Amino acid sequence: MKIALAGNPNSGKTTLFNAITGRIEHVGNWAGVTVAKKEGAVKKALNKTGVSMSVVDLPGAYSISPFTSEESITSGFVKNEKPDVIINVVDASNLNRSLFFTTQLLELGIPLVVALNKSDLLLKRNLTIDSEKLSVLLGCPVVNTVSTKRRNNGLVELISESAGRVGSQQISPFRSPKVNLFDPSSVDDADRDRFSFVNDLVYKVEMRKKGSDKYALQDKVDRFLANKWLGIPVFAMVMWTVFAISQTYAGPFLADLLVGWIDGLYVFVEGLIDGKVSPILQSLLLDGIIGGVGAVVGFLPLIMVLFWLLAILEDVGYMARVALIMDRFFKKVGLSGKSIIPMIISTGCAIPGIMATRTIKNERQRRTTAMLTPFMPCGAKLPVIALFAGVFFKDAAWVGTAMYFTGIGIIIAGALIVVRITGDTNARSYFIMELPEYRIPSIKRATSSMLARGKAFIVKAGTIILLCNAVIQIMQSFNWKFQMVAEGDESTSILAGLANPFAFLLIPLGFGVWQLAAAAITGFIAKENVVGTLAVVYSITNFIDTEELALVSGGADVASIMGIGSVAALSYLVFNLFTPPCFAAIGAMNSEMNSRKWLWAGIGFQFSMGYSLSFLTYQIGTLITTGAVGTGFLPGLAFVLLISGYFAYLMKRDDKETVPQLKMSF
């Protein structure tokens, strides 16, 4: 038996799906989070029928007529897959808007059950809905549900009603007249008739005690948080606070506990194998695997605290306000207002963020967003930020905050460049987004989100990063004649031989040594590898001082090992954060762009931007701190000018060739 979950965006479908199936799919207190269907089995505790049931969570849709890619997925599934039952998830606090889609689903003839979700909000809004009367008027069961509650949430009744509807004939109380889809006036007339029916139905079942024209508390809060001028500094303060908590206070304290266990494991294994295995195997196991992977995993608590705080911000409804604040900037530079959604999702992982660009209808805007989204620092880049902020800048919260705002700045600048190159300067888009109601954040949801992301991080550390560190250790242990490299002679190793040519190109950026070049290269496999590789090539088992309960402080210790100062360290951080993302994210770019030309142009743009920004960071920083420019200034400047000149040529060329076209997209 197959059940389809369908409803408007932000009606709580995915939260209901998680509650029914026990899965932990990402949810957000805003629209547009679900962009693809997901399937899971109904929990045994809810399924009393003994019949196997699966549930499909469909992207949010306002209409069965597909106007967006998400609505196409939903419309295509319910029309072609023919589920046994449709559970229409309706936001009880916004009945009028939701029932338009409900009446369209009823016309399909598929058995339907309405889940009157978020019923707990009715009391707060002084609303009452006669669900029994609504059931009679719609001709289908209506079940009150609160998917965020553990008990008395209506889910058992919902599944029971759904099972009882299988095989029945659904009769619709409203039949739309025959509509000529090629005649806008015919479509408008049909929609007006449907809205009229819905309004009449809502009038009969809903009782509202409070006038909707009165300002609620959240309206007053929005005047401050979503203010077009105050919103930006407030957002900066919020992000600074998030980084201060995660990387200065709570994060390092928890990290110390974990690193203590990793150190214990290192000592235990060392004692276990000391003198019993070959030096090569001992070095591979201790320095390559435990040391390298442990260096990455040691940052897990910092990352999880950050994820938890971001999940709280999302759940409380603040991130939707951030999208609203940034919308006007993005529209001015030629991006879609919807572009902010992939970028916020990318703070967790760039891959789902890039996938979320499919909600953007305009092709140029979608491809541009897919190209620019990886500039937002993702979770994989956080260990790199945490390492350099802790080692070279005394855990300063401004480092992480600055990286996020630098990412936003690059996105805006990049959008301006791309729109001038493509010549699509007149494309317009409209971003329609319903601001969710502020709510008390759920500790359970935030914790589940944090654990899910933490699990993905650990899995990656135990597979890709472990394998990569093992290979790095082997390549560093042997020379090209496959002979063991003597201690202190690592510059003759295979790894050094491969990394040296790249290190030469990085001299103008302030870190032209093979160890840092090797770490940057392995970062393209997975960004966490940068930390793991540094631990292996510098033989630093961890970056956290277990006695001082903090990341290794006093840049002097690690700087003396790495041979770089704080300016070069910042340059290295910028390079790793703003050059092309990992290969998996590039694969997602390829899929969403659907154009080899755009893909290679995007990779070239990302590399050019990261290299140029890193060059400017190092050379300007060195000039300010020492009074002279850094090593390799002239060749680096020539390369950056060459890149800039090429992009300037592309922008000027298209200015002449492009005929302005007016394109509208929604």
Sign of CA dihedral 403, 409, 413, 418: positive
| C-alpha dist (Å) from residue 336 to 366, 390, 603 | 8, 36, 21
Q: What is the pLDDT of residue 28?
A: 53
CA-to-CA dists, residue 15 to 25, 81, 161, 213, angstroms: 8, 23, 19, 30
Task: Tokens for 30, please give them.
Answer: 């805003």
pLDDT at 660: 45
Cβ atoms of 336 and 429 within 8 Å: the answer is yes
Q: What's the rounded Cα separation, in Å, for the pair 617 and 623?
A: 10
pLDDT number for residue 71: 64
Q: What local confidence, expressed as pLDDT, does residue 555 receive?
A: 46
- Amino acid letter, 304: M
474-508 core/surface letters (b: 16 or more CB in 10 A; e: else): bbbbbbeeeeebeeeebeebbbbeebeeebeebbb
Whole-number pLDDT of residue 546: 39
Q: Is 423 in contact with 657 (CB distance < 8 Å)?
A: yes
Residue 554, pLDDT score: 45
- Indicate the pairing of strand 54-57 with strand 38-41: antiparallel
pLDDT digits (tens, 9 = 90+) for 348-374: 778 877 877 876 767 888 889 899 999
pTM: 0.70
Q: What is the DSSP string of 67-98?
A: SSHHHHHHHHIIIII--SEEEEEEEGGGHHHH
Q: Which residues in the chain show pLDDT less than 70?
A: 24-36, 66-72, 180-181, 210-216, 288, 292, 295, 337-338, 359, 361, 424-433, 540-559, 654-666
H or E segment to which residue 144 belongs: strand 142-144
Which is it for the CA torsion 282, 287, 288, 294, positive or negative?
A: positive
DSSP string, 600-638: HHHHHHHHHHHHHHHHHHHHHHHHHHHSS--TTHHHHHH
How far apart are alpha carbons 631 and 622 in whole angstroms? 9
How many Cα atoms sit within 13 Å of 312 on the Cβ side?
12
What's the start-to-end Cα distance of the chain, in Å? 36
User: Which two tokens mark 621?
Assistant: 């920083």
Sign of the Cα pseudo-torsion (577, 583, 584, 585, in order): positive
Q: Is 64 helix (H, G, I), strand (E, B) or coil?
A: coil
CA angle 110, 111, 117 (to 5 degrees): 115
pLDDT of residue 372: 92
Distance CA 517, CA 563 (A): 13
Compute the distance between CA of residue 382 and CA of residue 173 in angstroms, rounded to an integer: 54
Q: Which domains does the chain have, with CATH numbers?
A: 2-208 (3.40.50.300), 215-316+441-477 (no CATH), 350-439+486-665 (no CATH)
**Dihedral angle over CA of 399, 401, 404, 408, nearest 10:** -120
